[in-house]
Amino acid sequence: MAGRGTKGRQLSVEEVDKVRAELANYHRFAQVSEQIVAVNEAICEARPPNPAATAPPAGTTGHKKGGSATRSRRSSPPR
């Protein structure tokens, strides 16, 4: 849409300090997030492939379970 831009307003000194603190916290969060991603990727790359993890658990057959049992009906209150 043409003509739409950023809306600005004058901030008070307290608001400027608050916004600066929030931006600093955001940048710190972004750095920590990148570090977590790097560690996670290193863990995934270092982990040896485990074919047993992709195989179905021992003792299971290929047959699917039918789901939950039907619930019993609520009995009427005594008269």
57 versus 43: the higher-pLDDT residue is 43
Q: Is residue 44 part of a domain?
A: yes
- At residue 70, the pLDDT reads 67
Q: Is residue 75 part of a domain?
A: no
Provide the domain limits for residue 18. 13-49
pLDDT at 37 exceeding the cut of 70: yes
- At residue 73, the pLDDT reads 65
Q: Is residue 76 part of a domain?
A: no
Do the Cβ atoms of 22 and 29 come closer than 8 Å? Answer: no
Containing 26, the helix (H) or strand (E) segment is helix 13-46
User: What is the rounded distance in angstroms from the CA atom of residue 64 to the CA atom of residue 47?
Assistant: 32
Q: Average the pLDDT over 6-20 and give the result.
A: 90
Q: Is residue 41 part of a domain?
A: yes
Q: Is residue 56 part of a domain?
A: no
The count of domains in the chain is 1
Q: Is residue 74 part of a domain?
A: no
Q: Is residue 38 part of a domain?
A: yes
pTM: 0.48
65 pLDDT band, cuts 50/70/90, is low
